[in-house]
Amino acid sequence: MTAGALGPPDLGRRWRHLTAGRPGWRSFGSSVAGRVNSMSYMPKWLVLASVIGVIAGLGAVVFYEALSLATHFFLGFLAGYKVPTPAGEGNLAGSAHYARWWAVPLVVVLGGLVSGFIVFTFAPEAEGHGTDAAIDAVHHNPRGIRLRAVVVKIVASAVTIGSGGSGGREGPTAQISAGFGSLLSRVLDLSPEDGRIAVSVGIGSGIGAIFSAPLGGAVLAAEIIYRDDFEYEALLPGAFASVIAYAIFGAVFGYRSLFSIPGGYAFQPEQLAWFAVIGALAGGIGLLYSKSFYGVARLAARLPFSRKLRPAMGALLTGLIALWLPEVLGTGYGWVQKGLSADLSHLPLYVVIALPFARMAATDFSIGSGGSGGVFGPGMVIGAFSGLAVWRLLEPFAPGVGHSPAPFVVVGMMAVFGGISRAPIAVMLMVAEMTGSIDLLGPALVAVTIAWFIVGRSDDSIYRSQLRTRDDSPASRLRFGLPLLPTLRVSDVASPPRVTFQDRTPAAEALRVLHEAALPGAPVVDARGSYLGTVGTERLEEVATSGPEAGLGDAIDTTTATVPASATLDVGLEALVQAGGGWVPVTSGDRRVVGVLSAEDLLGGYHRALDAYTGYVYNVSSHALAVEERVGRGAPVAGHQVRDAGLPPGCVVVTVQHKGVLSYATGSTEIGQGDTLSVLVAAEQVGRLRELVRGDDEPPEPEGKQPLV
């Protein structure tokens, strides 16, 4: 069992301290959890999405105000510089020049110092761009986003961007609502699948709110967590949460598009060729953005001084770039508006060409060095400047380009970040909503498709926590090799808990009991028996050293996954993977601990089921079947390696279970008598496979079951 995070108690632990003497609160929480988890899909997600949407909208309001105050103080008051704003935020022209040019790099460095101190003192996981951290939580631990990290992210990002650092405001906003989705997963004891959806919905609704793009936010919730797949379960909850978040944010700041296009847009077929040029360029720029960002991050990690100082070093480089190009400061959205309105036409051509690369470098230095902020917004700004540069290059001589740079700026925004984020549909919808340019969606498909293809060929993404597809999660890979899991219930294989602690148990006593029982950890409940979390020996040893009367309060890990007793065993497998593969508490509908599910329990139960179901075949598709067979006496494949076993053409051995140990099969894996093989095979080859694997054994079909072949 993984020990709890080190350091001072986070907000979750403080909440437990506050409610320690208030069983009414816990009883109410258990009652709500029981009601929510007993609901069917639609009512449950109407409730959960509504709550997440409210928090996402309020979080967007809070961060927007914090960023506005920080920008006014750092750049406005200290540096004497006013940044331009987009049409949806006043369309202010900003300062024509620096009043105190020498103060600009100093202010950016000050912001880097403050941000670095806050992040690496209180929540190191808040460094960098928050969206990637939230995506990682979706796949590996939906309950694991600490509330402290959310608060630190708000403050540190406001300081980083407000002082002139190049970053986006979507990362902090996404982490606020994703963090609340994670909190709901813990408080309501949601299943692993529901926890994933809650955090995904939080990501999409937060970003949709801050950009006033609810439809794009809804699709983003389902698209952004994979490179080449779609989390369709998050789409409808994401839509509901995004609309609510947008309604709240708009009620405070108005229901307007972030940008405006003067004169609108009229489709010109000749422009499709030039949009294709933008797409090819956008793919390359997106790859450069990703590789340079993580290259700077790796370089910063090797700097021979404190992590708290690294953001200041990056901020210094950003400040120096800003002395030449003020367009790299802050979010940059005001400069995008100037590009849409042709207000940057006076700039020399070489400056326009340099803008996307300067913005890219500033983002690398500001966020890649350990500063706090998003990479979504800067990616769209880089795309906007790229489209503007293409327009400036083509406008004097190319037919059909037109006299307005707006279409090229919008398509550049969509193509650059739509490609490198691996979320092209969501980004296209968001940019269309942000610019009020729905008519550009069709023509922009040319550029976005080309950019997406180029990035996809390199298998890169700005979000390194994305999985390729739904089947690439550890639980999905194991589940594929164990097709009987959905036929079993957790309650059928879980063991009674050998040890359960009350939260008032002294830490030293709990540690002694675990050592005597030879257990790595145990569940913790309150006086009423409601589940609170788990404790592990490693963390207990640290807490116990603080004094003989130290309690379990600071040792409880509330992020450990749980699994409902009524769930099927494939859900239990996912919970085990999230918990690190050791064990997870099994809870009832009212949050009572009714058992413990370990990896041994799962494999033991599966083995018993296999005895009853051996030879039963499960459809995978219309052309292939997943078959589980035990190697019998005298089987032709026994004693051979997989590559030399003479298996039917196209047959793929997925897993081999040898003496109760399950492992993935490779060409060199030896097949022995008594082993159980999970095999993917063409339907017409099943008979031949059985002849090779069963040998002299011919197990009967399970009673009441009919084979599919």
- Provide DSSP, 221-279: HHHTTBSS---GGGHHHHHHHHHHHHHHHHHHH-S--SS--TT-----TTHHHHHHHHH
* Range of weakest confidence among 29-33, 181-185, 261-265: 29-33
Residues 622 and 681 in one domain: yes
* Residues 368-417: tens digit of each pLDDT: 998 888 899 999 999 999 999 999 999 888 888 888 899 999 999 999 99
Tell whether the model's pLDDT for residue 2 goes beyond 60. Answer: no
Q: Which pLDDT value is given to residue 618? A: 56
Spatial separation of the C-alpha atoms in residues 233 and 531, rounded to whole Å: 27
Provide mean pLDDT across the span 337-349. 91
Question: What's the pLDDT band for 275 if we cut at 50, 70, 90?
Answer: very high
Q: Which pLDDT value is given to residue 543? A: 81
Q: Does residue 543 form part of some domain?
A: yes
Spatial separation of the C-alpha atoms in residues 1 and 582, rounded to whole Å: 6
437-451, 556-570, 584-598: which has the highest mean pLDDT? 437-451
Residues 223 and 87 in one domain: yes
Residues 89 and 109 in one domain: yes
Spatial separation of the C-alpha atoms in residues 133 and 141, rounded to whole Å: 11
* Residues 278-302: tens digit of each pLDDT: 999 999 999 999 999 999 999 998 9
Q: Does residue 21 form part of some domain?
A: no
Of residues 678 and 45, the one with the higher pLDDT is 45
Spatial separation of the C-alpha atoms in residues 365 and 292, rounded to whole Å: 10
Strand partners, 676: 630, 657
Is pTM beyond 0.85? Reply is no
Tell whether the model's pLDDT for residue 25 goes beyond 70. Answer: no
Residues 111 and 197 in one domain: yes
Q: Which pLDDT value is given to residue 75? A: 95
Spatial separation of the C-alpha atoms in residues 198 and 193, rounded to whole Å: 9
Residues 428 and 495 in one domain: no
Q: Does residue 6 form part of some domain?
A: no
Radius of gyration, CA atoms only, the chain: 28
Q: Does residue 530 form part of some domain?
A: yes
Of residues 600 and 195, the one with the higher pLDDT is 195
Q: Does residue 509 form part of some domain?
A: yes
Could you tell me the residue range of the domain that residue 514 belongs to? Answer: 474-604
Q: Which helix (H) or strand (E) holds 96?
A: none
b/e map 244-275, b = 16+ CB within 10 Å: bbbebbbeeeeeebbbbbeeebeeeeebbebb
Residues 318 and 449 in one domain: yes
Spatial separation of the C-alpha atoms in residues 246 and 60, rounded to whole Å: 9
CATH number at residue 519: 3.10.580.10
- Residues 510/552, Cβ–Cβ less than 8 Å: yes
* Residues 415-465: tens digit of each pLDDT: 999 999 999 999 999 999 999 888 888 889 999 999 999 999 888 999 988
Residues 352 and 244 in one domain: no
Residues 579 and 504 in one domain: yes
Could you say which DSSP state residue 374 is in? B
Sign, CA torsion 258/262/266/269: negative
Residues 38 and 69 in one domain: yes
Of 469, 498, 521, the one marking the end of a domain is 469
Spatial separation of the C-alpha atoms in residues 419 and 646, rounded to whole Å: 44
Residues 209 and 296 in one domain: no
Residues 395 and 520 in one domain: no
Of 604, 628, 657, the one marking the end of a domain is 604
* Range of weakest confidence among 57-66, 563-572, 598-607: 598-607
Q: Which pLDDT value is given to residue 701? A: 43
Of 416, 449, 469, the one marking the end of a domain is 469
Beta carbons within 8 Å of 133's beta carbon, 6+ residues apart = 125, 126, 145, 149, 175, 465
Q: Which pLDDT value is given to residue 414? A: 95
Beta carbons within 8 Å of 173's beta carbon, 6+ residues apart = 56, 59, 60, 63, 206, 207, 209, 210
Q: Give the number of domains in the chain.
A: 4
CA 649 to chain centre: 39
Question: What's the pLDDT band for 12 if we cut at 50, 70, 90?
Answer: very low
Provide mean pLDDT across the span 338-349. 91
Question: What's the pLDDT band for 7 if we cut at 50, 70, 90?
Answer: very low
CATH number at residue 64: 1.10.3080.10
Please tell me the total number of residues recorded for the chain in this structure.
Answer: 709
Question: What's the pLDDT band for 29 if we cut at 50, 70, 90?
Answer: low
Q: Does residue 16 form part of some domain?
A: no
List for the chain the helix, strand, coil content (%; round to 5).
Answer: 60, 10, 35
Beta carbons within 8 Å of 246's beta carbon, 6+ residues apart = 57, 208, 209, 212, 213, 214, 217
CATH number at residue 622: 3.30.70.1450
Beta carbons within 10 angstroms of residue 42's beta carbon: 10
Q: Does residue 339 form part of some domain?
A: yes
192-201, 521-530, 568-577, 680-689: which has the highest mean pLDDT? 192-201
Helix (H, G, I), strand (E, B) or coil at 372: strand
Q: Does residue 657 form part of some domain?
A: yes
Tell whether the model's pLDDT for residue 548 goes beyond 80. Answer: no
Tell me the HSE value of 261 on the side-chain side, using a 13 A CA sphere. Answer: 22
* Residues 148-158: tens digit of each pLDDT: 888 898 999 99
Residues 143 and 228 in one domain: yes
Spatial separation of the C-alpha atoms in residues 510 and 220, rounded to whole Å: 45
Could you say which DSSP state residue 571 is in? H
Phi and psi torsions of 558, nearest 5°: -85, -5
Strand pairing of 624-630 and 661-664? unpaired
Beta carbons within 8 Å of 504's beta carbon, 6+ residues apart = 527, 551, 552
Q: Which pLDDT value is given to residue 239? A: 94
Please give the share of the chain, as a percent, with pLDDT higher than 70.
89
Helix (H, G, I), strand (E, B) or coil at 696: coil
Spatial separation of the C-alpha atoms in residues 90 and 376, rounded to whole Å: 22
Helix (H, G, I), strand (E, B) or coil at 63: helix
Q: Which pLDDT value is given to residue 475? A: 64
Tell whether the model's pLDDT for residue 553 goes beyond 90. Answer: no
